A = this chain, B = another copy of it.
Amino acid sequence: MTNPLPRILIEPIIRAALLEDLGHAGDITADAVIPASATTRVAFIARDPGIIAGLDCAALAFALLDPSLILNIHIPDGSAVHPGDTIATIEGNARAIVSAERVALNFLGPLSGIATATNGIAKSIAHTKARITCTRKTTPNLRALQKYAVRCGGGANHRFGLDDAILIKDNHIAIAGGIATAIARARAAAGHLVKIECEVDTLDQLAQALRAGADAILLDNFTLPALREAVALINRTAIAEASGRITPQTAPAIAEAGVDLLSAGWLTHSTTVLDIGLDFLP
Contacts and interface: CB of A to CB of B under 8 A. Distances in A.
Contact of A272 (B161, B188, B270): B270
Q: How many copies does the complex hold?
A: 6
Interface stretch (A118-126, A167-175, A220-228): A167-175
Contacts of A77: none
Contacts of A143: 20-21, 24
B156 A191 contact: yes
B30 A172 contact: yes
Contacts of A3: 31, 36
A138 to B, nearest CB: 6
**Interface size class, chain A:** 35 or more
A233 interface: no
Contacts of A18: 8
A171 B280 CA distance: 7
Nearest to A11: B15
B138 A32 contact: no
B261 A269 contact: no
A33 B163 contact: no
Contact of A174 (B99, B174, B280): B280
Interface of A: 1, 3, 5-6, 8-9, 13-36, 38, 40, 64-65, 94, 98-99, 102-103, 105-107, 109-110, 113, 133, 136-144, 147-148, 156-168, 171-172, 174-176, 182, 185-186, 188-195, 197, 215-216, 239, 241, 260-261, 266, 269-273, 280
